[in-house]
Amino acid sequence: MIKALFTRQTNGQLVGAKLTGHAGSGDYGFDIVCAAVSTLAINFINSLEVIAHCQATVTLNDVEGGYMDISVPCHDNQETIQILFESFLLGMTKLAEDSSEFVQTKVI
């Protein structure tokens, strides 16, 4: 199962997301749920860079996979960053609703 943990500060701003695990909904290279999560995460990171001019800090486990930690250290363009973050959270939440046996989303 992929677990997506989003971090929201007391002021309501999202500041990070950690994705762990494997969906296991299909064979390696053919896992549609894994592909959906990867697409949402990569689109979020790319959108931060291109639209909000913010370079996210991304940590991956390149050996085993199944781990991505995204933090957003930028302080400028917060309105745009938060819209992109909320969109990423929405995509992950809807995916978790539709594929609850493979994806879990939580906000702390």
Separation of alpha carbons 91 and 55, rounded Å: 21
13-17, 60-64, 85-89: lowest mean pLDDT where?
60-64
Instruction: Please say whether the dihedral angle defined by the alpha carbons of residues 101, 85, 44 and 58, taken in this order, is positive or negative.
Output: negative
Separation of alpha carbons 63 and 75, rounded Å: 32
For 21-102, CATH gives 3.30.70.1490
User: How does pLDDT run across 43-62, given as a tens digit for each residue?
Assistant: 999 999 999 999 999 999 97
Domain segments of the chain as ranges: 21-102
pTM: 0.95
30, pLDDT greater than 90? yes
C-alpha distance from residue 3 to each of 7, 12, 18, 53, 62 (Å): 13, 21, 8, 28, 18
